[in-house]
């Protein structure tokens, strides 16, 4: 009995030793697999960093796909894709190593100059009155800048320009990137009938997936919807965006776009006739409002922002050839723009307007209850230095400096 018990005990001990040994081997294999996977994905991440640096460095490549074998051994590959996304460039990178894949997407922006104001030369000076203050470089007509008395008060500051230098402007504004403009016009004139009608009230499309395009119903109203990501909406008539809509990162193309009071979001909106933004709307960076004249018409293409609007991004109006009814950008009382305003025509400012960035136009107008002033700035602040140093602009404005990552995308 003693020998049989000893044998049973030995077998039991051997069994547990075998089980523990097997578990240790499995654990070691598991941790080795995890370690090797971490190494592979670390290499994939490094490859993505290399791809990002390549995309940002090549300013001449703005659209298309490229496949790169990084080390020439067929194991580390990069698929680079770049295309225009509204007023910015969208880069999508995919890194491959054997069966593993890592991917990322981001918007590309460009650093800008230090100019606060560009006013084209129409042989008339710029007049400053009241609590107006300009901070940053200015490019002005040869007639210069002067202090003036308007609305019952003189210019309140000592210098006409603070913290910047002055140079002379040309008859025209700096040219915009024609290839980018053409794509925007193509979208505005695109045949919508072949597109599916948007029926979803909630839709999220990753920028790592293909772009989804939809048409909107006639005189569409975006009410109580949540739309986000790699999504473009087209309309043949007016589009109304209510305050209950949640729009994040999408694009909309229509003849007329109307944003109701109280709306908050982030989107790029493009129209051929007008964009109207009611009071107390907040549009986050990088939002865009753009009106492009695509055909001769009697109406004046315009962008109108109501009172107490906060806008972060780019506002621009464009026509290829100056017409009698020039394009118009109008900013309401106490409205703040953090970014850029560009108009191949007129910029209408109300009292209390603040532009933290740059404004470019042919002529300023200010409407008071008594008088219409031309090239007068009354109680407005133009401050290039107040804009965030991390702000990035669009390739649309040629002459920008190096490319940088503007925003990471899901």
Supply the pLDDT for residue 3.
63
Q: What is the model's pTM?
A: 0.90
Q: Is the pLDDT of residue 76 over 60?
A: yes
The C-alpha angle with vertex 353 and arms to 222 and 263, in degrees rounded to 5, equals 15
What's the rounded mean pLDDT across residues 390-405? 88
pLDDT at 298: 63
81-85, 189-193, 392-396: range with lowest mean pLDDT:
189-193
Provide the pLDDT for residue 37: 67
User: 282-297 pLDDT, tens per residue?
Assistant: 999 999 999 999 888 7
Which residue would you say has higher pLDDT here, 150 or 100?
150
Look at residue 74 in the predicted model and tell me its pLDDT: 74
Q: Residue 405: which pLDDT band, with cuts at 50, 70 and 90?
A: very high
Worst-scoring range by mean pLDDT, 48-52, 72-76, 209-213, 332-336? 72-76
The CA radius of gyration of the chain, in Å to the nearest whole number, is 29
pLDDT over 70 at 33, yes or no: no
> ∠ CA(367), CA(373), CA(374), 5° rounding?
120
Residue ranges of domains in the chain = 2-110, 115-401
Q: What is the pLDDT of residue 176?
A: 93
pLDDT surpassing 60 at residue 207: yes
pLDDT at 380 over 80: yes
pLDDT at 35: 64
Could you tell me what percent of the chain has a pLDDT over 90?
A: 71
The reported pLDDT for the residue numbered 4 is 67
**DSSP H/E element including 229:** strand 226-229
Count other C-beta atoms under 10 Å from residue 265's C-beta.
Answer: 20
Alpha carbon distance 189, 194 (integer Å) = 13
- Reference 312, options 347, 352, 344, 283; nearest CA is 283
pLDDT band at 89 (very low <50, low <70, confident <90, very high): very high
108 conformational bin, left if phi > 0, alpha if psi -120 to 50, beta if neither: beta
Of the candidates 348, 341, 339, 395, the one whose C-alpha atom is nearest the C-alpha of residue 368 is 348
- Average predicted confidence (pLDDT) for the chain: 91
pLDDT at 240 over 80: yes
Compute the average pLDDT of residues 204-215. 97
Enter the DSSP assignment of 237. Answer: S
Q: Which of 126, 118, 119 is nearest to 374 (CA)?
A: 126
Give the pLDDT score at 34. Answer: 66
DSSP string, 321-346: S--SS-EEEEE-TT-EEEEEEEESEE
Give the pLDDT of residue 11.
75
pLDDT (average), residues 308-336:
95
Phi, psi of 182 (to 5 degrees): -60, -40
pLDDT at 402: 87
Quick: pLDDT tens for 110-165: 988 899 999 999 999 999 999 999 999 999 999 999 999 998 889 999 999 999 99
DSSP E strands, 48-152: 64-69, 76-85, 88-97, 100-110, 115-119, 126-129, 133-135, 137-140, 145-147
User: What token pair was written down for 114?
Assistant: 């230090």
pLDDT at 20 (0 to 100): 84
Low-confidence winner among 28-42, 201-215, 263-277 (lowest mean pLDDT): 28-42
- Assess whether pLDDT exceeds 60 at residue 1: no
């Amino acid at each position: 009995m003693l020998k049989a018990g000893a044998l049973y005990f030995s077998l039991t001990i051997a069994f547990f030793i075998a089980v523990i040994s097997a578990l240790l081997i499995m654990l070691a294999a598991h941790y080795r697999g995890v370690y090797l996977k971490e190494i592979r994905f670390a290499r994939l991440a490094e490859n993505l960093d290399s791809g990002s640096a390549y995309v940002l460095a090549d300013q001449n490549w703005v659209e298309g796909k490229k496949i790169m074998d990084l080390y020439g051994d067929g194991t580390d590959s990069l698929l680079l894709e770049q295309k225009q996304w509204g007023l910015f460039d969208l880069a999508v990178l995919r890194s491959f190593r054997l069966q593993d894949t890592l991917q990322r997407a981001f918007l590309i922006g460009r650093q800008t100059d230090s100019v606060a104001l560009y006013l084209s030369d129409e042989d008339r000076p710029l007049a400053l009155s009241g609590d107006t203050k300009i901070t940053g470089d200015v490019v002005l007509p040869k007639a210069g800048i002067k202090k003036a008395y308007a609305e019952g008060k003189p210019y309140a500051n000592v210098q006409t320009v603070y913290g910047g230098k002055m140079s002379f402007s040309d008859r025209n504004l700096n040219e915009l990137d024609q290839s980018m403009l053409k794509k925007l016009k193509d979208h505005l004139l695109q045949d919508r009938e072949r597109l599916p009608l948007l029926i979803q009230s909630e839709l999220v499309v990753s920028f790592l997936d293909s772009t989804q395009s939809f048409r909107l119903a006639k005189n569409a109203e975006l009410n109580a919807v949540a739309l986000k990501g790699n999504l473009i909406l087209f309309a043949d008539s007016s589009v109304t965006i209510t305050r209950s809509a949640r729009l994040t990162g999408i694009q909309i193309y229509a003849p007329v776009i109307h944003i109701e009071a109280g709306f908050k979001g982030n989107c790029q909106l493009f129209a051929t006739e007008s964009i109207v933004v009611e009071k107390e709307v907040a549009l986050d960076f990088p939002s865009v409002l753009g009106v492009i004249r695509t055909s001769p018409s009697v109406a004046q293409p315009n962008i109108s922002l109501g009172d107490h609007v906060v806008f972060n991004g780019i506002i621009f109006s464009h026509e290829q050839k100056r017409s009698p009814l020039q394009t118009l950008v109008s900013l309401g009382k106490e409205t703040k723009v953090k970014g850029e305003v560009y108009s191949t025509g007129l910029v209408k400012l109300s009292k209390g307007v603040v532009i933290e960035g740059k404004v470019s136009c042919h002529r300023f107008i200010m409407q008071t209850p008594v008088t219409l002033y031309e090239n007068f700035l009354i109680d407005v602040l133009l401050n290039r230095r107040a804009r965030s140093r991390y702000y990035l602009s669009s390739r649309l404005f040629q002459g920008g400096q190096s490319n940088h990552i503007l925003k990471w995308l899901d």
